Amino acid sequence: MSKDQFVQVAQSTPFDNSTNGFVSEDTQAAIEEVNNKAKKIKAGIILAVTFTGTPRKAAVTFTTAYVDAEYAINITGIDARSWTYETKSAAGFTINTNANKALTGEVSWECVYKGEN
């Protein structure tokens, strides 16, 4: 079955949205809704050697930018630090370690675009 044929079948197949919070009424629309929701989440890992300067900082640049800077950021590192972020934009942000001492472990970050769905 070709992609176009699959899409036609999915568009003609009803989707029950009564218990899952979706607005989609056909299977193809539900697939696209899931895809759009997945685009709301971005995450990555930055190696310790990437952090430079005083205090130590590292830039995060998204492969695909959000449409604006309305997203939440969570930063977790192996090293005990008081993590903060700066220069938040649709294209990314900067992680600040708020310390001058070199890191020994990686730093993980997660971003979730606004909204509950």
Q: What is the pLDDT along the chain (117 residues), one digit of tens a residue?
A: 787 877 786 688 888 888 877 788 888 887 877 666 547 889 999 999 999 999 999 999 999 888 789 899 999 999 999 999 999 999 999 999 999 999 999 999 999 988 665
The answer to whether position 1 is within a domain reads no
Alpha helices in the chain (DSSP H): 3-12, 27-38
Determine the Cα–Cα distance for residues 44 and 63; give it in Å rounded to an integer: 11
Q: What is the pLDDT of residue 80?
A: 93
CATH of the domain at 52: 2.60.40.2080
**pTM of the predicted structure, to 2 decimals:** 0.69
Domain range for 84: 41-113
Q: Give the chain's domain count.
A: 1
Owner of token pair 């890992």 = 45
Angstrom distances, CA of residue 57 to CA of 26, 28, 35: 46, 43, 32
The answer to whether position 22 is within a domain reads no
The answer to whether position 13 is within a domain reads no
The answer to whether position 67 is within a domain reads yes
Q: What is the pLDDT of residue 1?
A: 79
Angstrom distances, CA of residue 91 to CA of 42, 62, 65: 11, 6, 4
Cα within 13 Å of Cα(24), Cβ side: 21
Q: What is the pLDDT of residue 116?
A: 60
In the chain, the amino acid numbered 97 is T
Q: What is the pLDDT of residue 57?
A: 98
Determine if residue 32 is left, alpha or beta; phi over 0 gives left, psi from -120 to 50 gives alpha, anything else beta: alpha
Q: What is the pLDDT of residue 68?
A: 85
Among candidate residues 95, 100, 92, 82, the one with its CA nearest the CA of residue 47 = 95
